[in-house]
A and B are shown apart, each in its own frame.
Chain A
Amino acid sequence: MNVSLSCDLQREIFDQMEASYPNEGGGFLLGNAQDGIVSVQDIMQVENTFAEEEQYHRYAMTPQDWMRLEDEADERGLSLIGYYHSHPDSLAIPSEYDREHALPNFVYVITSVMMAKATEMLVWRLRPDRSAFDGGTLSIT
C-alpha cells in the first residue's frame, strides 16, 4: 500500500495533533484508492468524543459523525478512505485497542506527538483476517 498525501494536508494534520496535545485528535481521510495506491485529497477534522479524562490515550467519533461525513464525501464524489489520529508521547504504531476497533480496506494514519511536537507519521492497514496491521509507504507530495 502506498499512500500519497500533500505537504499542506500533512501540515494541517500536524497542526491539529499538536493543538490537541496532550489529548488525542483525529479525523477522516477523503480521496480514492486503486490498485494499492491511495491518494488523500482532503481531510475532515472530527472532535474527539471520548470521555474527557480518557482523551490523553483514547480517541473516538460518533456514529453520527460517520453518517454525516460519509454522505458529504459521496456528494463530493470522494470516498472515506481512512482515518487519522495521534498518539501523544507514544510511537506511531497501532495499539491492540486500535486493532480491535479497526476496519479492513481503510488507511490508518497515526502521528506521534512528543512533548507537543508532531514527530512522525506512519500509515497502516488492517489485514483481512484482522490479525494485525501491515505498514505502508507514505509519499509526501
Chain B
Amino acid sequence: MATIRIPTPLRAYTDGASDIDVTGETVGEALSNLVDRHPDLRAHLFQDDELRSFVNIFIGDEDIRFMQGLETEIDAEDSLRIIPSIAGGRR
C-alpha cells in the first residue's frame, strides 16, 4: 500500500498522523482515497477538483507536474509527499 506524507499544518485533519496508507493505482486515486477518509483536507488541497496551485505532490524527489500529473501511476511501495509552496507578498 502506498503512503502519503502529510505536511505538518494539515496533520490536524488526519488526527495527527504524519503518514497515511492509501489505495489507488494513480496519484489522483490515492489523493481521492486520502480526502474521502479525511474530508477536511479537501478544501486545502483542491480548488474546483484541481490541485491548488501551491500544492505540490512528490514521489520521492520527483514532482508529479514533471511526470503525468494526477494520472501518474504508482505502486504499493511508493512514498508520496504533499509539499506546500510557501509564498507571500504585500499585494
Contact = CB atoms under 8 A, between A and B. Distances in A.
A49 to B, nearest CB: 9
Interface stretch (B3-11, B21-29, B67-75): B3-11
A105 B12 contact: yes
Range for the number of chain B residues in contact with chain A:
20 to 34
Contacts of B44: 103-104, 130
Nearest to A113: B90
B89 A79 contact: no
A29 to B, nearest CB: 11
Interface in B36-91: 40, 43-44, 53-54, 56, 58, 63, 81, 83-91
B87 A104 contact: no
Contacts, number: 95
A67 B8 CA distance: 11
A-B pairs, top 7 by smallest CB distance, nearest first, are A90-B90, A87-B90, A58-B89, A63-B83, A60-B87, A106-B9, A105-B9
A26 B90 CA distance: 13
A66 B90 contact: no
Given A104-B44, A129-B43, A66 B86 contact: yes
Interface residues of A, number: 40
Contacts of A46: 86
Interface stretch (A1-9, A10-18, A94-102): A94-102
A24 B89 contact: yes
Nearest to B40: A128
B88 A101 contact: yes
Contacts of B83: 63, 66-67
B90 A95 contact: yes
B20 to A, nearest CB: 16
Nearest to A97: B89
A73 B43 CA distance: 26
A117 interface: no
